[in-house]
A and B are shown apart, each in its own frame.
Chain A
Amino acid sequence: MHKIKRKRIFKNIILDILIAIVVIACIFPFAWMVMTSLKTRVQTIDPSVWIFHPTLENYQSIFQKRNLFMYIKNSTIVVSLTTLISLILGTFAAYGLARFRFPRREDIAFWILSLRMLPPMAVVIPFFLLGRFIGLLDTHILLIIVYLSFNIPFTVWMMRGFIEEIPQEVEEAAWIDGCSRIQGLFRVVFPLILPGIAATAIFCVIQSWNEFALAFFLTSFNARTVPTTVTFFLSVLGVIWGEMAAVGVVATAPVLLFALLVQKYLVRGLTLGALKS
């Protein structure tokens, strides 16, 4: 009996060590970036420096010399508007797909979902040419519209799942009290799916904030978003690693905070609303 117990303790220690390795592997690159962003230029190319006096000069320089603020402003405008429009159009469509029975309903729903899978490099050429024809290249409007192509399908599927979790009887009770369908939707359903709306909005924000390929080809100077700052740091000779890391910290901090808020819905969001956990 004693032997078995010892064996089990030993096994648990091994499993705990494995978990520790996994967690450290997930954190390390991010932690290394934070450290690098606080190092002086000489320290950034010395991987043996782990303990040092942090400096904020990299952060100063990306806001002063690199004009990072403009990129953040552009990203914020594009992300918030594309999310807002997607939520409005997508939530209504989700309600229609959740509450009505009509022919080809599932075909329509799955066709919408399929659009979420489009490769960005396959659609970027027509967007680029059409954008050039109508003179919308390098504008917020073009990016906002293009980002709807993945945000609307995502919203439709996420919100459909949330609406289906609300029993129809709740609405029917409101109709008996004299509410129309639309009134019932606004007064009864919306308050109940508010957490779902918030979670969906956050996912839209994250995926739009992180999007690179479309932003890179459809903007050139004025409407550049945060991920396109990668181009500052691609020169073969002497990348300014400290500034790179500082941009990285500024770009990823909001996304990480947002992601923590929607942890509960993460599996659902990552599988585009197709899986519930």
Chain B
Amino acid sequence: MGKRKEHYAFILPALIALVIIVIFPTIFLWYVSFTNYDLSMGWEKKSFIGLENYVYLFTEDKDFWHSLKISILFMGLTVACEFVLGLGIALLFHRRLWGKRLWMSFLIIPMVITPTIISLIWKLMLNTEYGVLNYMLSLFSIGKVNWLGYKEAFWSLIIVDIWEWTPFMALILYAGLQSLPQEPYEAAIVDGATSTQIFYFLTLPLLKPMIIVALLLRSIDALKIFDVVYGLTQGGPGNATELMSLHIYRLGFRHTNWIGRSSANAVILLLISTFLTMVLLRSLRKSQKGGSDFA
């Protein structure tokens, strides 16, 4: 090893491990997506069918379009609500407050609890007959809501996701607020800016890099969600909550064993999340050059 190549000794072990663990299986996934493989047949019996699985998804599989549509809807709604609520909570905490550290440590609970456990707690709380939520509503003489019914389940799922991840947004945005420079604020106050103006023309633009990172991280996570949905509804009732990951699961493992078709759907999920990841990394690199709060 020469002096100029010394860094290889440090980074190669991890890189080789990642290529073997991630890149090779991903290539394998692409390969399977072009075959008619199915779990019930022998591996040597499969044949290469080109783009047929993709054609099937786009033309014949109505549930695929449904899962794509509600995945995007789920992503948009949860991320938007979590951002607005999270910013509100961050602003609430951004002042002098007795016992602030203690109150903020409670915000950690939703995001570190095991997601499958979260889904079960909520399944109990949302139960129509003996769930604590309907019990509380009954105290205000509001009738029973069938939270996990065909029409309502998707919205309940969104509520659970908002509960789980709003604190995450709040903590990141709070950290952002804490690190803002003081000078522009002093100048704005001297110039007689109202607090609304200060918020729109100072705080939001200064927070922008952090906001973008937080939004993209959440979007990618919301897109690939599986665990909470599986625990709460398993994609049902019917296919009311069959998001993309759940559809892949149903095609490949649950009813049909169509691994080929399921792989094609997994490739599409991979492409969408890769696209979002590229956008995220680009914005990270841009703000890195600006040398703000980024690593």
| A213→B226 contact, CB < 8 A | yes
Residues on B with C-beta less than 8 A from A113 are: 281, 284
Count contacts between A and B, CB distance < 8 Å. 275
Q: Which of A78-98 contact B (CB under 8 A)?
A: 89-90, 92-93, 95-97
Query: For the complex, would chain A's binding face be called helix, strand, loop or mixed by DSSP majority?
Result: helix
How far does the alpha carbon of A277 sit from the alpha carbon of B90 in the complex, in Å? Answer: 14
Shortest Cβ distance from B176 into chain A, in angstroms?
8
Q: Which of B95-140 contact A (CB under 8 A)?
A: 95, 97, 103, 105-125, 129-132, 134-135
Shortest Cβ distance from B250 into chain A, in angstroms?
11
Checking A27, A99, A148 against B109 with a beta-carbon cut-off of 8 angstroms, the contacting residue is: A27
| B118→A29 contact, CB < 8 A | yes
Task: Indicate if B277 sits at the interface (CB-CB under 8 A).
Answer: yes
How far does the alpha carbon of A79 sit from the alpha carbon of B238 in the complex, in Å? Answer: 35
The answer to whether residues A227 and B227 also contact, given A181-B6, A271-B214 and a CB cut-off of 8 A, is: yes
Q: Which of B3-38 contact A (CB under 8 A)?
A: 6-11, 13-15, 17-18, 21-22, 25-26, 28-29, 32
| B109→A276 contact, CB < 8 A | no
Checking A15, A100, A260 against B7 with a beta-carbon cut-off of 8 angstroms, the contacting residue is: A100
Task: Indicate if B83 sits at the interface (CB-CB under 8 A).
Answer: no
| A126→B273 contact, CB < 8 A | no
Residues on B with C-beta less than 8 A from A123 are: 22, 25-26, 29, 266
| A251→B7 contact, CB < 8 A | no
Task: Indicate if B77 sits at the interface (CB-CB under 8 A).
Answer: no
Task: Indicate if B147 sits at the interface (CB-CB under 8 A).
Answer: no
Q: Which of A209-249 contact B (CB under 8 A)?
A: 209-210, 212-213, 216-217, 226-230, 233-234, 239, 241, 244-245, 247-248
Residues on A with C-beta less than 8 A from B114 are: 209-210, 212, 226-227, 248, 251-252, 255
Residues on B with C-beta less than 8 A from A108 are: 11, 15
Query: Chain A: how many interface residues by the 8 Å CB criterion?
Result: 100
Residues on A with C-beta less than 8 A from B135 are: 47-48
| B10→A125 contact, CB < 8 A | no
How far does the alpha carbon of A146 sit from the alpha carbon of B22 in the complex, in Å? Answer: 8
Query: Chain B: how many interface residues by the 8 Å CB criterion?
Result: 97
Query: For the complex, would chain B's binding face be called helix, strand, loop or mixed by DSSP majority?
Result: helix
In the complex, what residue of chain B is closest to A100 when comparing beta carbons? B7
How far does the alpha carbon of A22 sit from the alpha carbon of B86 in the complex, in Å? Answer: 10
Q: Which of A240-268 contact B (CB under 8 A)?
A: 241, 244-245, 247-248, 251-252, 255-256, 258-260, 263, 266-268
| B112→A206 contact, CB < 8 A | yes
| A89→B14 contact, CB < 8 A | yes
In the complex, what residue of chain B is closest to A150 when comparing beta carbons? B22
- A sample of 12 more A-B contacts (CB under 8 A), given A120-B224, A248-B114, is A19-B92, A45-B130, A93-B13, A110-B281, A110-B285, A121-B244, A152-B14, A210-B115, A227-B114, A252-B112, A255-B114, A267-B171
